[in-house]
Amino acid sequence: MNVQLLISSIIFGLSIGSIYFLLAIGLSLCFGLMRIISLDQLLYYSIGAYITYTILTFIGSFWIGLLVAMIVAASVSLIVEKLVFKRIYEKAITFTMITSFGILLAGVGIIKYIWGLVPRPVPSPIHKQIILLGTEVPLYRVIVILIAIFIYIDIWLFLNKTIVGKAIRAGIEDAEKVEGLGINVYWLFTLTFLIAGGLSGLGGGLHTPLIMVDPHMGLEMIPFVFMVVIIGGLGSIKGTLISSLIVGQVISLGALIWAPLSNMAPFAIMILILIVKPTGLYGSKLLKR
């Protein structure tokens, strides 16, 4: 196997894994804290992509578009949380999953109405190539990886070094005990939802130069995000990061070895990990609220 091709494939896997991380971390935290399967996070991912494309088209700045995408995605997620999820937090997980999937489908319809059905290309904001281990790789992909690492460090510091973050971590383990301490758990729910929506929008914006912006892009990401959350473990940011990188590398290297393997291998890895550890790599036992 060509070494340069291998290095390029590894960078590709790290960059796509970074996108998976930005999407899955919000889904994992929502699942861990609120016991909901927030499939609507994939709507905010799509919104982030389309807002980035729109801002880039009108003013020519990808990075401003990315910032606006995060703000818009977070704002939409806040509205959805206030209007929908706040009313159904006490419902069964299956009920919230169906509701969030309905929101995702409705959002896809709105996206089609506003932007149409035609996939839209987004040029890379950075065309420069850099040399890594004697191999030319796109600088933009390296920047995507660095942004994901920066986000991971920020989230880790927030959850481990701030009072609010520690309350969220405690709520992931047992929300009832946190509520017993006089902490407004539903305020934590709203904050978590806001953070998750913004990160999903960031993931969508960063992904736009690597793919075509398409109304169904959120739906196409569902199996990969689920795999990341399941492999990493509920509510674990460390597990989400590691599983994101694993899935990204399996997809990338699998395609390099044999194209159909890129679709089959991630599911095989997920099944093997669940057989050995049903809670995922870093997941804790699911506790009820």
Q: For residue 155, is it within any domain?
A: yes
Q: How many domains does the chain have?
A: 1
Q: For residue 282, is it within any domain?
A: no
Give me the sign of the Cα torsion angle 225, 227, 228, 230.
Answer: positive
**Structural domain for 80, as ranges:** 3-276
Q: For residue 289, is it within any domain?
A: no
Q: For residue 286, is it within any domain?
A: no
Q: For residue 288, is it within any domain?
A: no
At residue 27 the predicted structure's pLDDT band, cuts being 50, 70 and 90, is: confident
Q: For residue 57, is it within any domain?
A: yes
pLDDT for residue 166 is more than 50: yes
At residue 145 the predicted structure's pLDDT band, cuts being 50, 70 and 90, is: very high
Beta-strand ranges (E) seen in the chain are 120-121, 129-132, 135-138, 212-213
CATH code, 36: 1.10.3470
**Longest C-alpha distance within the chain, in Å?**
60
- Quick: pLDDT tens for 70-102: 999 999 999 999 898 888 877 888 888 899 999
Q: For residue 285, is it within any domain?
A: no
At residue 109 the predicted structure's pLDDT band, cuts being 50, 70 and 90, is: very high
Q: What single-letter amino acid sits at 285?
A: K
Q: For residue 225, is it within any domain?
A: yes
Identify the pLDDT of residue 148: 93
- Quick: pLDDT tens for 213-251: 999 999 999 888 888 888 887 767 888 899 999 888 888
- pTM, two decimal places: 0.89
Identify the pLDDT of residue 288: 44
Identify the pLDDT of residue 172: 63
Identify the pLDDT of residue 219: 92
